Chain A
Amino acid sequence: MVAELQKNKLMMKKTPLYDRYLSLGAKIIDFGGWAMPVQYTNVIDEHHATRNKAGLFDICHMGEIEIKGPQAFDLLQWVLSRNLEKQKVGQMMLSVLTNEHGGIIDDLTAYRLATERYMVVTNAATKDKDLAWIMKQKVERNFRHVEINDMSDRIGKIDIQGPVAQNILQSMVSDGLALLPYYHAVEASVCGMPAIVSRSGYTGEDGFEIYTDACAVGKIWDDILKRGAAWGLKPCGLGARDTLRLEAGMMLYGHELDETIIPLEVPYGWVTNLEKDFVGAEFLRKQKEHGVTKSLVGFEMLGRGIARADYKVFKDGQEIGKVTSGTYAPTLDRAVGLAFVPASCKEPGTQIHIHIRERYVKARVVKLPFYKRSR
């Protein structure tokens, strides 16, 4: 098994920080074709570091697509579920990219960097299909005055997350961060390198996402690690990223989301504006009228055991659904998960069972998120 992984390492894509996390002793996994650190020390320590102090994450694998020109807004307004009319320059918005049937091609964030210039940040494994889809819509809808550029290989991205993230980062950034509101971005210099910094993330904590030139990201990574050490900052892998996002009730493409899922079945109704026209809107309006039959819910284990992705969900002896993500949640110190169940079973308090190996273990539907930070 170990030898196999060694062989695969040669074939996997590597981020500009690969050598750095190898020297930090990270354990490497294949994440959608990328050689990524799953952990440096252990998942639980890294999870707690992010909740209580700060964590630094290599997110260079994610995709960045630049969309600019007089029709940049029109194109995005057509392909994304969110109404972007009120988005100001400097604001970012979470949205979904849907196909004609409302199926989720990706969940992504769109940054409005200038009136006619956007940066769309996609998941790593979905970037190529997102790009192809957006290009296809541009041609089909005849948006001639818009340019689409894949910037993913040229941009490096790191996230610094946690209650002291701002304390660590502020002296390294040319612009003051204290006044930067949630889900807003500034173009600033970080350690002297031009960068985009937004107050956002995927952990449920305060924190920042930093985009810079792929050649500069190493220096910023090094500086943050050095400066952050005194504040208790740790480099964190994808293992902690997953437990952090799950506690915060955030979804992961490929687990909760794919093209067979529509935003009305998951907690993405709020990013889906059915008043406006976009790809899939008509279909989604009909679905809403007919009623949505399944629903993604959060659950916590009451009996002993940890639910994992693909385990079956039962109610009163009947199989009713499937777990999409499940883990031991370090901050909550209990096992939680997300699952698709019939809409009739989505109310918090509903008793369900999770089939774990030979046993049916008691669980209960709970309100999301599992964890919310105190401000």
Chain B
Amino acid sequence: MSKPNPTDRKYTNEHEWALDNHDGTITAGITDYAQELLTDIVFVELPEIGKKVRQFERLAVLESVKSVSDVYTPASGEVVAINQALADQPEIINKDAFGEGWIAKIKMADAAELNKLMDAAAYDLFIKEETQ
């Protein structure tokens, strides 16, 4: 069973999370539910710092042994930091998707975009429906 979804952040229906750092940036990653579906992640393609991204466009690519999956950005803006540790240890995402396994930090173009995302309770329900 996946870990509970923290209530301090917002969620997309593609299973990404966005944590508002209250300095105009968010930290983005994938949910524990998503890492469980992907299983053993063996490769992460990170965006370059400075890259401009638009909400729900591709931010990164995760590969398990069997599959290739896109990670979409929860908000528009500019990539200001990437989790370089994932390049050598992609399995960090499997171990700690909500913490050490973060993927990138994005300086938001429009903080109001976060209102389009689900809160933890809505996302809990969303997963429940998807698995039934």
- Shortest CB-to-CB span from B129 to chain A, Å, is 9
* A2 CB within 8 Å of chain B: yes
Interface stretch among A35-43, A103-111, A203-211? A35-43
Q: For the complex, is B22 an interface residue (Cβ under 8 Å from A)?
A: no
The answer to whether B39 and A42 have CB atoms under 8 Å apart is: yes
- Nearest neighbor of A41 in chain B, beta-carbon distance: B39
For window 123-153 of A, CB contacts with B under 8 Å fall at: none
Q: What distance in Å separates the Cβ of A229 from its nearest Cβ neighbour in chain B?
A: 22
Contact with B along A38-76 (1 / 0, CB 8 A): 110011100100000000000000000000000000000
Q: How many residues of A contact B (CB 8 A)?
A: 21
Q: Tally of A-B residue pairs with Cβ under 8 A? A: 42
Chain A residue with the shortest CB-CB distance to B39: A42
A345 interface hit (Cβ, 8 Å): no
A357 touches B61 (CB 8 A): yes
The complex places the Cα of A196 from the Cα of B43 at a distance, in Å, of 41
Given A2-B130, A306-B63, A327-B65, also A43-B43 (CB < 8 A)? no
Residues 308 to 364 of chain A near chain B (Cβ within 8 Å): 308, 327-328, 330, 335, 357
Chain A interface main SS type: mixed
A39 near B39: Cβ-Cβ < 8 Å: yes
- B65 is contacted by which of A2, A239, A305, A357 (Cβ under 8 Å)? A239
- Contact B65 A43, beta carbon cutoff 8 Å: yes
**A43–B66 CB distance below 8 A:** yes
B45 CB-CB contact with A under 8 Å: yes
Chain B contact-residue range equals 10 to 19
Say if the beta carbon of B109 comes within 8 Å of chain A: no
Once bound together, how far apart are the Cα atoms of A42 and B95, in whole Å?
Answer: 14
Q: Which residues of B contact A243 (CB under 8 A)?
A: 65
Q: Would A328 and B65 count as touching, CB distance under 8 A?
A: yes
Distance between Cα atoms of A327 and B68 in the complex (Å)? 11
- For residue B127, which residue of chain A has the nearest CB? A2
In the complex, chain A residues whose CB is within 8 Å of the CB of B39: 39, 42-43
**B66 proximity list for chain A (CB < 8 A):** 38, 43, 239, 242, 327
Does A328 contact B42, Cβ atoms closer than 8 Å? Answer: yes
Scan A241-281; emit 1 where CB is below 8 A from any B CB, else 0: 01100000000000000000000000000000000000000
* B119 close to A (CB within 8 Å): no
Q: Nearest residue in B to A29 (C-beta to C-beta)?
A: B66
Task: Return chain B residues, CB-CB under 8 Å to A44.
Answer: 40, 42, 65
Q: Which 10 A-B pairs have the closest CB atoms?
A: A328-B42, A43-B65, A42-B39, A44-B40, A42-B40, A239-B66, A306-B63, A306-B43, A2-B130, A328-B65
